[in-house]
Chain A
């Protein structure tokens, strides 16, 4: 008996597909830890997991897999995520990075899909820019708890967005705009601990994982390549945003197609060829790019 028998309806080769999939998960708190858990249960075989923080006591109300013992020992969140994955998939290929995702760009470039569970608008904008540049589908989740006036009552809300290169983006659907980014920048430093709860994170993460499965397993009719779902935690509903259908046929004006790739890419620095940055015909062995050659090639040159 195969341990994935009960999900075989996802497709005859779904286990192989999921095993070969590389998923980046940015942020391993309330949302990201749920995603990691579900991906491991599904059998996703390759991960790039990134978070700079260690778990503390206030995280234990929602961080899946985190224990009071972990909080006491201030265990890095990436270690808790890796433990969660290894408990279900001992052979999983995991790249764990305890740090900010901007320090993991090379590893993230090889991801097939990136899931973001980050706190700020600016982090979302940068992550989406990165994903567009390297043609990676990006699935964003986030939740918020807002006080309804001074009634002592609250509104729990959130979103799940699938942003596929070439299709509508976080700005196209109105989730991001300059005003929100400016407002957030003004509040920088005094955000404090924002309210978060386990069940709404779980709803959003589950929907996001469902979108990821839709991306790679053809288990039902064709899914849309742009998705913007709104979560209303008070009503317990997840529904398409009012503009989602309208945006399906719209191109994205915010990410021009000609911006893919590394600015300043030079294959000669990868294969160890001298790079002539100056005049034609000048074999610039001392050019700046030469110093980027791999250390062993430079060492071979030295001995010759």
Chain B
């Protein structure tokens, strides 16, 4: 199943701008992109709808990581999945240029909380995105029983139209 993540250039720029803001005590910011989903031949389209930043109060103090969400942040995102029918994608940035990659801590933490979204909204896939200044990478879960899979392709919809991922880029 080929999975493509589509987001407008405006929305992506607003996500990057928000994640740049400093936090009172966390080293970095995190947030969620809520999305709609669609089938297409041989795959699924993830169609970004909105960006929802984590409230300052919903971060936990944890000096071992760049940012740690508290249970309220995850509960709110679960409510968006359950009551508003959104697919939920956690997002943060590593900065820099070129294809970013999740750190070991990212992968461990994502695997802890992302599958919980499937418990409340199993009709959707959910996942996590990591950004750089000019690209993104992501993973998703399609059931609580399955392991995470890689998002194959990203499409930034604007001028220019930009595409990157495992099938090449433009």
Contacts and interface: CB of A to CB of B under 8 A. Distances in A.
Report if A and B associate in a common complex. yes
Interface of A: 13, 16-17, 20-21, 106-107, 109-110, 112-113, 133-137, 164-167, 214-218, 222-225, 257-262, 265-268, 270-271, 273, 275
Contacts of B124: 265, 267
B166 to A, nearest CB: 13
B36 A261 contact: yes
Given A106-B40, A265-B36, A268-B123, A164 B1 contact: no
A214 B157 CA distance: 13
Interface in B112-170: 122-125, 142-143, 155, 157-161, 163, 167-168, 170
B15 interface: no
9 contacts: A16-B170, A134-B38, A135-B157, A166-B8, A258-B49, A261-B47, A265-B123, A271-B1, A271-B142
B39 interface: yes
A259 B39 CA distance: 15
B49 to A, nearest CB: 5
B159 A258 contact: no
B9 interface: yes
Contact of B47 (A16, A113, A260, A275): A260
A289 B126 CA distance: 20
Contact of A216 (B34, B40, B142, B170): B170
Residues of A contacting B: mostly: loop
Of B7, B35, B41, B170, most buried by chain A (CB within 10 Å of CB) is B170
Interface bin, chain B: 35 or more
Of B86, B124, B160, B163, most buried by chain A (CB within 10 Å of CB) is B160
A258 B50 contact: yes
A20 B161 contact: no
Given A109-B45, A258-B49, A271-B142, A225 B39 contact: no
B37 interface: yes
B160 A216 contact: yes
Contact of A134 (B45, B143, B161, B168): B45
B19 to A, nearest CB: 19
Given A260-B35, A265-B38, A270-B1, A112 B163 contact: yes
Contacts of A275: 123
Contacts of A16: 168, 170
A273 B143 contact: yes
A112 B44 contact: no
B159 A223 contact: yes
Of B7, B10, B159, most buried by chain A (CB within 10 Å of CB) is B159
Nearest to A108: B40
Of B7, B11, B37, most buried by chain A (CB within 10 Å of CB) is B37
A262 B159 contact: no
Interface string B43-71: 01101111000000000000000000000
Contacts of B84: 258
B49 A267 contact: no
